[in-house]
Each structure stands twice: as C-alpha cells, then as structure tokens.
C-alpha cells in the first residue's frame, strides 16, 4: 500500500495534508524519514507521524437505528444522510450495507469491510430482511398466499422470491424477504391492492435491531453479530 494511503486510512487527514507532513519530515518508516507519499509500505513496517506510531485501523461494523428523514447515501443535496449521524474518523470510507427509503425506519448496517458488505447485499447471498409493516387498509387473508407464491411487480421480468408474511393485527404484519428490489415491500403490498403507511426494518440475517438503541443512534456490532453474516 502507498504510504499516503496507509496514513489516510489510519488518520483523518487529506492526501494534501499528508504530503505536507511528509515534506516537513514528520513521517518516518522504520526510523527513516519518508521522502515520498508513493512509497510502498506494509502493516509490518513501523510508521510514525511526529514520533507517534501510525496504526492501521481495524474494519468497523456498525448498527444504526435509522429515523425518518435520512437517506442511505454518502451525500445528498436534499436530505441529511445516515452518515451524518455517525461520529467516526474517515467516514468517507464507510459503506452502507442494505439501504432504506427516506421514510423507512429501522436497522441499517454500516462498514468499511467491502467483502462483508457484499455478503449482506449480494442477491446470491439470500440474506433475509424482516420488516414491520403498517397498511392503510386491512390486510386481506389471501395476501399471505400471494406473498408466499411470489408477486409479479410492474417493470420486473420475474416474480419476487417467496416471502413470509405474519399477521400481527388487521393493519400490521411482519414481512421477511430475501431480495432487495427497489421499494420492494411497498410494491408488493401495492400489487396486492393495499398501501404501506409505515415501514420499519427489524433485522438483517441474524442481526436484530438492538431494542435499547434509540433512533438516530448507533453502536458497534458484537463479534457474534459480525460473524453471523
């Protein structure tokens, strides 16, 4: 890895700032003052900045309780993003694993581990997501069978994969899907003749939204949760 990239991953510094520090002689590799940011280094090298060791940060795995009004994007011109709720260095390296609509609440996973993110989001992973849904009209009895058989959505080439629907009351249900099509849950209910008025994601795979986590807050995943994906 390039020296400037290594420092950028470890410290919340821009590449320009890093190059200025190198020119000032503030960066050393194995006790030798570095001359160029393009110098190749590895984790076994001892890198210091102003005499202090620079250690490559470990991958981060976060659980966020998303509130309404935030978009799952790194930047947006109209709405605040879920990353605005994260107080972490080098936020630009974080990826959102499993997005939610601006008016949907619940579990969002955030990481800088690209392979882990892929395991969450890749269609072939069949990583199940469970939502709590509130509808404007009572949920018809035949909706359970429709979801279990798969629904042909407008603009899609083939029906959805079978989904599990568990009724809680006549306007509320728990829905589990294994795909991530655009507005999928809302479109499935629309195709069944109903409309979703509230949507909340409760789980992704075996990771459950922490009931003690308030909206707008986040915490690190436990090792068990990380390994569950």
Q: Report DSSP letters for 103-142, one per residue.
A: T-EEEEEEES-HHHHHHHH-GGG---EEEEEEESSPPPTT
| Choice among 76, 101, 112, 113 that is catalytic | 101
What gap in Å lies between CA 29 and CA 41, rounded to an integer?
8
Q: Residue 131 — left, alpha, or beta (φ > 0 → left; ψ -120 to 50 → alpha)?
A: beta
Closest CA to 132 of 104, 112, 113, 153: 104
Task: For residue 169, indicate whether it is catalytic.
Answer: no
Closest CA to 107 of 76, 125, 82, 137: 82
What gap in Å lies between CA 120 and CA 62, rounded to an integer?
13
CA angle 26/29/34 to nearest 5° reads 50
Give CA 143 to chain center in angstroms. 30
CA angle 109/83/86 to nearest 5° reads 85
Residues with active-site annotation: 101
């Amino acid at each position: 890895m390039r020296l400037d990239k290594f420092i950028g991953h470890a410290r919340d510094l821009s590449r320009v700032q890093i190059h200025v520090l190198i020119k000032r002689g503030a960066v050393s590799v194995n006790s030798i003052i570095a001359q160029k940011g393009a110098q190749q280094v590895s984790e076994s090298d001892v890198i210091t900045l102003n005499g202090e060791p620079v250690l490559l940060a470990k991958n981060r795995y976060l659980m966020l309780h998303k509130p309404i009004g935030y978009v799952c994007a790194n930047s947006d011109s109209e709405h605040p993003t879920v990353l605005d709720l994260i107080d972490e260095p080098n936020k630009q390296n974080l990826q959102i694993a499993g997005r939610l609509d601006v008016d949907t609440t619940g579990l969002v996973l955030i990481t800088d581990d690209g392979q882990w993110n892929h395991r969450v989001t890749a269609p072939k992973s069949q990583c199940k997501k469970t939502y709590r849904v509130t509808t404007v009209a009572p949920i018809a009895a035949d909706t359970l069978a429709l979801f279990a058989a798969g629904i042909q959505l407008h603009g899609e080439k083939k029906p959805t994969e079978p989904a599990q629907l568990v009724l809680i009351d006549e306007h509320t249900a728990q829905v589990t899907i294994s795909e991530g099509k655009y507005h999928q849950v809302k479109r499935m209910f629309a195709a069944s003749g109903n409309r979703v008025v509230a949507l909340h994601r409760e789980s992704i795979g075996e990771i459950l939204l922490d009931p003690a986590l308030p909206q707008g807050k986040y915490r690190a995943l436990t090792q068990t949760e990380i390994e569950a994906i």
